[in-house]
Amino acid sequence: MLTRREAELVNETLPALRQHGEHISTVFYKTMLRDHPELNHYFNSVNMHTGRQPRALTALILAFASNIANISELTEKLERVAQKHASLVIRPEHYEIVAKYLIRAFSAVLGPAMTPEVNAAWTKAYWLMAKMLTGREQIIYKDFGPWTDWRAFTISAKTPETSEGDIVSFTLTPNDGCSLPSYNPGQYVTIRLKVKGLKYLQLRQYSLSDAPRPDSYRITVKRDIGASPDTQLDPRQFTAGLDGPPISSAASSASDSSIGSIRPHRPGLVSNVLIDDFQVGDTLDLTHPAGEFFLDANDPNTNPVVLICAGAGAAPLYPMLKVVSEQGQGRPMSWIQASRHDAPFREKVEKIAQTNPNVKAKFFRSRLADGDVISLTSRFQEDFIGLNWEDLWLQHNLTEYYVCGPEKFMGEIGGHLLKNRVDPARIKYELYSVGSFEMKR
């Protein structure tokens, strides 16, 4: 750990680093990717363009430094990062590169205040975090068994999940014919593909949308139609935040062309290509299932489970419903789903509810299922609040809640549950982006 003096030096510089988070992000990524262009293969270029990736990394290290005397507060954040890194095949040598350019960016911001003593303290703080992450990642890789790199799969089925065709499932079969490892429902895989016109490979995470099978995986992809003026998200007007304390205007770093490799932003850079161009018989590279958002399929408890989703957010929750209902343990479950038009998996969910008396299902129409909106222009909030306590199992103080959907949607759901005195520890959120979703207390 840091000595008392080292911790003081780090804490003294935190205000300046938070204030200039945007500049740190820009300098760090600009110089690192200039000198190591091969790292572009690892970054989601859309998150780079929008500024979410720079914001998340800068916020994470500052959050770590702020809590260095109480690391347990960051356990969930660090686990999310370690799982994501393992899914991207990040190795210890990558941390060496990041250390060099991150400390250089801190020096550019702090100027004369970055004395040799401060430099040494921040370097030590970074490596404390890095060693925690690499240590956890090595355990994850060990748990993966022999599959710790990319593996070729063939698309064996392509199935529209809505009448509009905007949400499509892909069944993927391993080319080597070997049996696939199981996973906890809610986890994801990373896919890798080449997009025409782009120099670097594109990597994306997609939730596994079916119960585990030894012969195939299934992912579900939603078409991205892009943001319109009434769906632009103002981060000051919703209840969730990304990793760590606020940093000044980090998201606006996307306006710097040295960060964004896609300009102007092309919606659905990978998802639309998958839906439009990839057909049965085509191949994709995948990594081992990973992720910290899951329902433990081996947990014998019978506490109620409430699954709340919007749009493609149904993808990681449907396997939870299917696996628990098939176990036949009598565990009560509620499925609550919002959608703008057709609800993906609705027929499958209703079939489970019809044959399992322990399962309830409710469906609502809402624009919140499409994306992040500032104003609530549907009856969803009214409908959701109107659900009775039995639907939400609010009367049971051990009920578990799993929520997945756009950020505004999750903010509304989380806020309602907290108002009804649900312990925050019993609510799990899945954010389809870099960083993590947190409710403000």
Q: How far is CA 22 from the centre of its chain?
A: 22
Looking at 6, 101, 126, 137, which residue is catalytic?
Answer: 137
| Calpha distance 318→210 (Å, rounded) | 7
70 Cβ neighbours under 8 A, 6+ residues apart:
none
Query: For residues 292 and 74, is the Cβ–Cβ distance under 8 A?
Result: no
- Dist. CA 109–CA 90, nearest whole Å: 28
Question: One of 6, 22, 29, 95 is an active-site residue; which one?
Answer: 95
Is 42 a known active-site residue? no
Give, in order, the Cα–Cα distances in Å from 284 to each of 10, 80, 83, 151, 221: 44, 24, 21, 8, 14
Q: How far apart are CA 107 and CA 101, in angstroms?
A: 10
Cα separation, 134 vs 24, in Å, equals: 23
Sheet holding 283-286, edge to edge: 202-207, 188-193, 283-286, 151-160, 167-174, 217-222
Check if 126 is active-site: no
CA 211 to chain centre: 20
Residue 168 burial class via C-beta count within 10 angstroms: exposed 0-12, middle 13-18, buried 19 and up: buried
Catalytic sites, residue numbers: 95, 137
